[in-house]
């Protein structure tokens, strides 16, 4: 056989093995996530809170309790996570936010939200007027705006 053919067969075999391994790792991760979602649903409670601020920042800079930082793996402490600063009753707290709802969280509004520990999982309803989110400009629109200034 040709050397080129042998190299192609080896590369194909490695790619097939990697694909199969990723498939099983993905199934295992899905099961783990389903278990964690069940735990979050069990401890979930609906509260009324005032959202003060929201940012994407590093966990170690967010002002979360030391126990939270100890439980997170070291390689994830430096990654940016969605953080929401809220006022629940007289207390001001820092909560982690689910990435799916981060864009929908209104700033400086009172909302009914579902929280599970220090994790904001859903926004049920907001009080007051709803403001439309400002539209993001496309690259060409930004260039035209700069040109007109």
Q: Residue for token digits 């859903």?
A: 122
**Contacts for 92 with CB less than 8 Å, ≥ 6 apart:** 52, 85, 86
Q: How confident is the model at residue 17 (pLDDT cuts 50, 70, 90)?
A: very high
Q: How confident is the model at residue 5 (pLDDT cuts 50, 70, 90)?
A: very high
The residue among 66, 93, 63 whose CA lies nearest residue 81 is: 63
The answer to pTM > 0.75 is no
Residue 94: both structure tokens together = 């820092």
- Among 37-41, 99-103, 134-138, name the one with the lowest average pLDDT: 134-138
β-bridge partners, 93: 86
Residue 33: both structure tokens together = 């996530």
73-to-60, 77, 84, 126 alpha-carbon distances in Å: 12, 7, 21, 34
Residue 68: both structure tokens together = 């939270």
Q: State the Cα–Cα distance between residues 105 and 84, nearest whole angstrom.
A: 9
């Amino acid at each position: 056989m040709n050397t080129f053919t042998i190299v192609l067969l080896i590369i194909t075999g490695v790619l097939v093995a990697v694909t199969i391994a990723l498939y099983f790792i993905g199934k295992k991760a899905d099961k783990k996530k389903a278990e964690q979602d069940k735990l979050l649903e069990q401890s979930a409670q609906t509260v009324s809170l005032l959202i003060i601020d929201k940012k994407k920042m590093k966990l170690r800079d967010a002002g979360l309790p030391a126990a939270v930082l100890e439980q997170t793996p070291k390689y994830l402490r430096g990654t940016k996570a969605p953080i929401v600063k809220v006022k629940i009753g007289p207390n001001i707290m820092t909560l982690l936010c689910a990435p799916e709802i981060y864009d929908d969280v209104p700033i400086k509004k009172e909302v009914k939200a579902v929280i599970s520990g220090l994790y904001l999982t859903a926004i049920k309803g907001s009080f007051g007027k709803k403001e439309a989110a400002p539209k993001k400009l496309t690259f060409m629109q930004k260039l035209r705006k700069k040109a007109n200034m």
